[in-house]
Structure 1
C-alpha cells in the first residue's frame, strides 16, 4: 500500500472515531444493538465475528475504515428514531423487577414470545428485544400503546391486591411462600441458581399478579374493568391460611392458660372452624386473632399502628 493510501486510511479512521465519540458514544447499549442489527441488513457488515462484549467498540471497530461512515450512521440513526420506542416509556419497568417479571411472562403466555429460559439478570434485554426485533414491523405509536396497556393492567392488579402487604418479610415467609407456590405450580420459573430475598419477593408478587390475568383483547375494550377472580381470591386465601397454620406448627411455644368467656354461639362456631381446619380450638383462635391483627393493626411495613 502506498504512503498516501496509508495516510488516507489512518485519517479516515481517526476522523470516524472522533465522530463516533461525539455522536455515538453516548447512545445506550440498546440503541447500539439496534444500529448493529440495522447496519448488518443495510450494508452487509457482520458484528458477531468480533466477539466483543462492548457493543460500542464493536461498532466503531467494524466501521472505522469506511469512507462514508458518517452518512451511514446518520441515516441509521434517522431510521432508528422512527423505529425504536423511546427509553422513557420503559421507565416504570426499569424501576420494578416485579413489573419486569410480570411483563415478560405476559408476552410469553399471550404472544408466544419464545425464550430458552427466563433469567433475572437479562429480563429487560429480553423485553427490549421483543419490541426492537420481534415487534419491529409495527409503528412506534402502536408499540407504545401496547406497552402502556399492559402496564395499565398491572397497576390495576396491584392496586386491588391483598398480598403485597401480607408478604412483609416475616422470618421464613418468603422462602415458604416460594415453596408453596412452586408446589401449586403457580410460581414463575427462572433459570437462576441463587436468588436474593428481594428477587424472590418480586417473583412471588409477579406470580400472584399473573393468576387469572385478563387477556390483552379484554384490556383494550373501552368498558374494561379489572376484577379479582373468585379463583384468585380462593388461591390467596388458602395460601394465607396455610402460612398461618405453618407459623403455629413451627412456633413450638408453651401456651399459658388463658380463659375467654365466649358465648355458646361463638364457642360453637370456633369448634366447627377448628374441626374443618383440623386444628385445636386454641390453635384456631390463635390464627384468627393474629390474622385480624395483621389486617387491621399494622402498617404496610408490618409495624404496629397503635
Structure 2
C-alpha cells in the first residue's frame, strides 16, 4: 500500500480535521442518503472505484493521506474515505455531498439496469386479442408486468407437465 505524506505547513489543518472526524462520521451516518446498501457488494466496489477514477472529484482538496488501493477491501476503504473527506471538506455545503452520492447511486443503478436488460430478449408471440386482454387484466390483478406473468405461467406449466414431483424433467 502506497501513501502520501502531509506537508509540514498542513500538519495543523490535518490535526484539526482528524479531531473533528468523530463528529463528522456521526453526521454522515445519520444521513439517509448513503451507500450502505451497495458498499458490501464486490461488483459495486470495483465499479465505484473505477467510476471515481474516471470522474475525478477535483473539488476535493487533498490535504490528506490517501492510500492507493491494491485489493477490493482497500478500494472500499478508499471510496468511503474519499466521500467522507468530501463531506468534511464542504462542511457548509452538505448538499454537494448528497448530490455526489445520488449521482454515484444513479450511475450504478443505470449500469445494473442495462446489464440486466442484456439478458432479456423480446419475442413476438401471436395471440388472440381476447387472450391479450385477459393477460393484461390478470397481470394488473397480480401486480406484474405481462412479460413477468407469462414467464411465471410458463414456468408453472412446465413444472406441472414436464417434471415429476421432485422437479426433475421426465420428458
State the structure with more CA Rg: 1
The one of the two structures with greater contact order (alpha-carbon pairs below 8 A, sep at least 6) is: 2
TM-score (norm 2): 0.50
TM-score (norm 1): 0.31
